[in-house]
Structure 1
Amino acid sequence: MKLNFPGPSARGLAVNALALFAAVIVAACGDPGGSAAPPPAAKAALSVELVAPTQVEWPAVLAANGNVVAWQEAVIGAEVANYRIAEVRVQVGDHVRRGDVLARIASETVASELAEAVASAAEAEAAAAEAAGNAERARELRAKGFYSAQLHAQYQSAERMAAARLAAARARQQAAGLKMDKTVVRAPDDGVISARRATVGSLTQNGEELFRLIRGGRLEWRAEMPSADLLRVPVGVPATLSGPNGATVTGKVRAVAPSVDAQTRNGLIYVDLPATDAVRAGMFARGEFELARSPALTLPQTAVV
């Protein structure tokens, strides 16, 4: 038996060709914004600005570290021992003037000693006046021949002894007066109270510290410097310190240590500081010494890429 399979007709082939052609046309004529890739972004142009160098006086500096300390610190104590402190008038940080009262010591016992000394001096003065009168009469009577030489000498000796006792009594009175004055502890100089150990009710002792005073409120920076750089810093050059809060303090070199430490080979440079609240005694500070200035051409930092 012979089987016949129908083949594709000419009409079907034409329809398929037209459909394929229409699809190609639609794809070519579609919206270019929906499927086309965006164009590459243009690169920004680098702007260039010309800057002329400026000539300035450029400082040559030398950096150092060190501690801020008191220029001179006076230790104040009581000059009378075994007496009770009755009053304390100052606190740490107070500014005082020379002669201001810092503390008072109970003076009742000292006052009685002074009164006794005054009475003894008055008694000795009366005795000396009496002895002087007796010696004067003895001289007059001796001139008239009524007194012997021996009796006259006794009156003269009594006068001198009375005068000596009067001088001793007056010296004791003066000592009692000085002791009375020392019951008031006073500031020996202008300055700032940096420490206080005096408390009301405690007994004073010889050599015991009651207060510490920074004389004049003056501070100094003791910069530690290697021996190789020590001689490069002359007296009088300015120094700028940076405080813990970022504030700067400008001082001046007062002295350079004449010797260096044998272990570290470092020496100290003493810088006087002005009165300021930026630094306090005991702080560690960094600073720079301005050794010299020389002309130099400079550019702003923004000109360096």
Structure 2
Amino acid sequence: MNSKHNRLFFKIALSGLVLAGGAVWLAGSSEAEQSAPAVSRPALTVRTTTLREDKWARTLAANGSIIPWQEAVISAQVQGLRIAEVKVSIGDHVQQGDVLVTLGNLARAGNESDSPYSAQGQIVAPDSGIISLANANVGSISQPGVELFRLIRKGRLEWRADLTAEELMLIRKGMSAEIAAGEGRIIRGAVRAISPSVNLQTRYGYALVTLPDSAGIVAGAFARGTFDVSGGKKTLKSMPQSAVMQRGNMTYVLVVGPDNHVHERAVTVGQRNGDRIQIKQGLKADEPVVESGGSFLTEGDVVQVVKGELWASMSHHGPYATRFPRCSPS
């Protein structure tokens, strides 16, 4: 009896020790998990950039139109003659002295000429150029001062840039300009003339820029251009435009800290040149900034920074290939 009682007591005691040990182990594991530091997964893999010194010319952008350099209005000098033949049409290139119209009287009875008119005179081109307007019709009666043709002299075109009074004060004769003529074509010209006043209704004046190569350009077309108003290149600091973001009235970049957390930094920007933008203030020269993909990030996000060949091998998979899923808070 005592032997059975002792064995039962031993089993109960052993079970208690096992349960107590398990409780201690579970408590220790829980404390270890709670004391272990939380590790944040990076939200995005990025490449960084820093400010770069560049030499840029200070430019002034403007909108305007392509217009003829000069136009000649061509009309008959005598009255009462019928137009016997029209030799040119709109768009034709002519040389000075080329016959544009043949004038004549009605042929008299018995005239052996095949033409219904007897030749009395001609209207010729006063200069070389391109016919931009043609109103002459066979059979109509000539009237002095009535426009028959309009001629773009020498075929020359120029850019008329619309400018405010403040902008006009920056422009000088001979100043260089670049005009975008469509499909990536850039024409370089120089300021020929500047209006001395502005229109009282629109408050705009204009500058006329010569176009040395206007082949293939259409008069009347809209065109954008820039003037070099700096008189030379100046050193400034810039970075890729992809690194600069806008939210409301705030222009900012994402600075990557030593712990790889990103922080918004307001910056003041200036002129643009190609894919780069001037940073006037708000950023130090050696501070790393997220170069692209900043729209996927928010203040305090952790990023993984990669460089060079590794970035090239990752980026060809597309912008989402380097994005990590965000960890939801537990």
> Aligning the two structures, in what range does the TM-score lie when normalised by the shorter sequence?
0.5 to 0.7
State the AA in 2 paired with 1:91. S
Which of these residues, 49, 61, 67, is aligned with residue 69 of structure 1? Answer: 67
Count residues with an aligned counterpart: 195
**Which one of 223, 233, 242 corresponds to residue 285 of structure 1?**
223
**Residue aligning to 2:174:** 236
2-side partners of 1:108 and 1:45: how far apart? Answer: 90
Contact 2:66 2:158 in 1 (8 A): yes
Deviation of 1:218 (Å): 1.3
- Separation in structure 1 between the aligned mates of residue 149 and residue 89 of structure 2, nearest angstrom: 9
Contact 2:164 2:204 in 1 (8 A): yes
The Cα shift of 1:206 comes to 1.6
User: Aligned letter for 1:235?
Assistant: K
Deviation of residue 284 (structure 1)? 2.2
Contact 2:102-2:119 within 8 A present in 1 as well:
no
1:69-148 matches, within 5 Å, as 69-106=67-104
Instruction: Check whether the contact 1:249–1:278 (CA below 8 A) recurs between aligned residues.
Output: no
SS at match of 1:229: helix
Q: 1:201 to 1:289 in 2, by over 3 A?
A: same
For residue 148 of structure 2, give the secondary structure of its aligned residue in structure 1: strand
Aligned to 1:294: 234
Q: How many angstroms does 1:300 deviate by?
A: 4.8
Q: 2:103 is matched by which residue type in structure 1?
A: I
- The alpha-carbon deviation at position 242 of structure 1 amounts to 2.5
Residue 217 and residue 193 in structure 1: after superposition, are their counterparts in 2 closer, same or farther (change >3 A)?
A: same
Query: Structure 1 residue aligned with 2:126, among 168, 171, 188?
Result: 188
Q: Name the structure with the higher helix share.
A: 1
1:211 positional shift: 0.5
Conserved 8 A contact 1:85-1:103: yes
TM-score by length of 1: 0.56
Shift of 1:57: 2.1
After TM superposition, give the deviation of residue 263 of structure 1 in Å: 2.6
Aligned to 1:250: 188
Q: Structure 1's 182 and 249: CA in aligned 2 closer, same or farther, altered over 3 A?
A: farther
Instruction: Name the counterpart of 1:151.
Output: none
1:197 aligns with 2:142: no
Q: 1:99-120 CA deviation, whole Å, 9 max, x = no partner?
A: 11111112678xxxxxxxxxxx
Which of the pair has more CA radius of gyration?
1
Per-residue deviation at 1:59? 2.1
Separation in 2, partners of 1:97, 1:283: 25
The aligned amino acid for 1:247 is: R
| 1:193-240 deviation line (CA, Å, top 9, x unaligned) | 000011112111121111100111111222111112210111111222
Provide the rounded CA distance (Å) in 1 between the counterparts of 2:204 and 2:100: 40
Q: 1:283 to 1:48 in 2, by over 3 A?
A: closer
Change (3 A) 1:224 1:182: farther
* Distance (Å, rounded) in 1 between the aligned partners of 2:89 and 2:173: 36
Q: Which amino acid is 1:250 matched to?
A: R
Secondary structure at the residue paired with 2:77?
coil
Structure number with greater CO (CA < 8 Å, separation at least 6) is 1
Report if aligned partners of 1:257, 1:267 keep a CA contact under 8 Å in 2: yes
Q: CA deviation at 1:249?
A: 2.6
The worse-fitting range, judged by mean Cα deviation, of 180-189 and 246-255 is 180-189
Q: Deviations over 1:45-73 (max 9, x none)?
A: 97676767654321211122222211111
- Which residue identity lines up with residue 124 of structure 2 in the other structure? R
Q: Report if the CA contact (8 A) 1:64-1:224 is conserved.
A: yes
- Between the aligned partners of 1:100 and 1:107, the Cα distance in structure 2 is 21
Identity of aligned residues (%): 44
What RMSD in Å do the two structures reach over aligned CA positions?
A: 3.0
CA distance in structure 1 between the aligned counterparts of 2:70 and 2:196, rounded to whole angstroms = 19
What is the one-letter code of the residue matched to 2:131? Answer: I
Alpha-carbon distance change, 225 to 71 in structure 1, aligned in 2, over 3 angstroms: same
Give the structure with the higher percent strand: 2
**Unmatched 5+ residue regions in structure 2?**
1-40, 108-117, 243-290, 295-330
Q: Give the counterpart letter for 2:167 in structure 1.
A: D
Distance 1:106 1:51 in 2: 78
Determine which of 54, 57, 68 is the counterpart of 2:55: 57
